[in-house]
Structure 1
Amino acid sequence: MTNEDLLYRYFSNSLTENELIDFNKRIETDAEFKADFEFENNLKQAIKQNNTTELKEKLKVFEAEISVKEPRTTKPQFNWRIAASIVLFIGAGWFGYNALFGVDYNNIYNANFNNYPNTEFTITRSDTVDSYERKAFVAYEAQDYDNAILNFNTIPVAEQKGYQDFYVALSYLNNNDSEKAKDLFKKTVAYNKMFVAESHWYLALVAIKQKDKIAAIKQLRILLENFDYNKSKAEVLLKELH
């Protein structure tokens, strides 16, 4: 069962005993799942405490939908995160997110973004083999990100190392292709042992670049709760976003 489906069943009060065991296990072992749960749970509780009539009416509709138990073989059609977001923006003044529109995302991004250095491949003039790996890092250090991407992606599968997706993601980010960068940072988090903490940091910056305050806060919290990388910067940035 996916994380999203498990959260859906939790918030619709439809977990089986085995699913509850699975839910508790993921809360303890999966930092991203825990962050998703805490965000959605806190948001739901905050919405319930609001006294705005319009919000309460919308919430009744959403909770009526979420209480419907669909067959386990059917993918849930209701998405609590989407519903919560709708309610969130209906009640933006109450929840404090009117401040969101005053955030200068460009300044925050520019103040916090520093390109990650080449820490994986030493480039020397005496190199006798001009491999794709060498070409990729030469281009990366020269800020020629198109050629960096091309050469990183041309490295034979047997010669690829754990850093490739991370540096390709950085190259896309420097080329202002945030979506491709985000996908590869997420892939690094999911499948690699290298650069996981760094990827959470850059995912937070991508979210800021895309003016997605909620996603940025989520990534910063994961970083602070599980890693030491850029800890002081993450703490300051988190305070700026709140």
Structure 2
Amino acid sequence: MTEQDELIEKYIQNKLSAEEALMVNQLLENDINFKTEFTLQTNLKKAVKKDDDAHFRNLISDIESKAKIESPIKRHSYAKWLAAAGIVLLLGLSYFFTMNQKPSTNELFASYFEPYRNVVQPLERGSDQQDKKTLAFLAYEKGEYEKAIALFTDLYTTTKEPYYLFYKANALLKLEKANEAVPLLLEHLKTKDTLTEKTTWYLALAYLKLNDKPNARITLKKVITEGKYKTTEAQELLKAFK
């Protein structure tokens, strides 16, 4: 396994360090071969995780189409993933899921959690602006979560803007500190900013990370009832608990 393959595997398993996350982002921007491999691996992983034969077959068809028109080097990459996909398809998706049994709550968390994107402070590349708010969200986008948490804490203390609670909780979840994220998310739910409708989903994932299945179920049902954000994913997770 190459270093780049290891980075992709760590990304899929949600085990990237802040430095590795930055490296992945740089490779995605600058290395077309890495981006192709990354897309193939992550899409295949998502397809396998979904008990959806049509979705899986569509992915294979897409890989086959691309393999016919790409360069020999890229065709080799596509061929590798067609082989892997073919094994799963040959066995049958239902057999695959039976053999793998139910995933753990930690595995489910890793599959569904992704830090919410920065929609508060758009960052302009090359800007000389260096105020604390900009630095906080820059650290967040770069995967420097410890730094972002410290800045979000100071900013919330000063401004009482509730979205800092939300983003601090997301950073804590990325660092696998769900026990610290839960009270922040509960506090954020008491507010009514533009991000509050997203908070219930992340609270459910935090409970999942803590292996608190009763609260995870209750919160996922609330996500479904609200019907505003990640409703389909919440239904999938509830099904995984059965």
What TM-score results when the alignment is normalised by the length of structure 1?
A: 0.54
Alpha-carbon distance in structure 2 between the residues aligned to 1:158 and 1:184: 16
The answer to whether 1:149 aligns with 2:149 is yes
1:226 aligns with 226
Q: 1:97-137, CA deviations, whole angstroms, 9 ceiling, x for partnerless residues?
A: xxxxx651122111111121111111113534311100100
Contact 1:162 1:194 in 2 (8 A): no
| C-alpha distance in 2 between matches for 1:140 and 1:241 | 31
1:198 aligned to 2:167? no
**What amino acid is aligned across from residue 124 of structure 2 in structure 1?**
T
Corresponding residue SS for 2:225: helix
Identity of aligned pairs, percent? 26
Shift of 1:226: 1.6
3-state secondary structure, aligned to 1:154? helix
- Give the letter for the 2:175 counterpart: N
Q: How far off its partner does 1:146 sit? A: 0.8
Cα distance between partner residues in 1 of 2:218 and 2:132: 36
Q: What do the CA deviations read for 1:141-197 (whole angstroms, capped 9, x no partner)?
A: 111111101111222756453311000111111111111101101111112333223
Contact 1:188–1:196 (CA under 8 A) maintained in structure 2: yes
C-alpha spacing 1:178/1:156, structure 2 compared with 1 (3 Å): closer
Partner of 1:139: 139
The one-letter amino acid paired with 1:110 is A
The residue type paired with residue 209 of structure 1 is K
Count of aligned residue pairs for this structure pair? 142
Q: SS where residue 218 of structure 2 aligns?
A: helix
What does residue 130 of structure 1 align with? 130
Structure 2: how far apart are the matches of 1:185 and 1:156? 14
Alignment of 1:1-242 (within 5 A): 104-155=104-155, 159-242=159-242
One-letter identity of the residue aligned with 2:143 = Q
CA contact (8 A) 1:197 1:227 kept: no
Partners in 1 of 2:201 and 2:223 — Cα distance?
7
Partner Cα distance (1:237, 1:217) in 2: 9
**TM-score, normalising length: structure 2:** 0.54
* Residues 109, 120 of structure 1: alpha-carbon distance in 2 compared, 3 angstrom cutoff: same
On the 8 A contact 1:118/1:137 being kept in 2, the answer is: yes
Range 155-164 or range 114-123, more displaced: 155-164
**Stretch deviating more after TM superposition (160-169 or 143-152):** 160-169
Query: What stretches of structure 2 of length at least 5 have no aligned partner?
Result: 1-101
Aligned twin of 1:42: none
- Pick closer, same or farther for the CA change 1:132–1:219 going to 2, 3 Å: same
Change (3 A) 1:210 1:156: closer
CA contact (8 A) 1:132 1:154 kept: no
Secondary structure, in 3 states, of the residue corresponding to 1:127? coil
**For the residues of structure 1 that align with 2:224 and 2:107, how far apart are their CA atoms?**
22
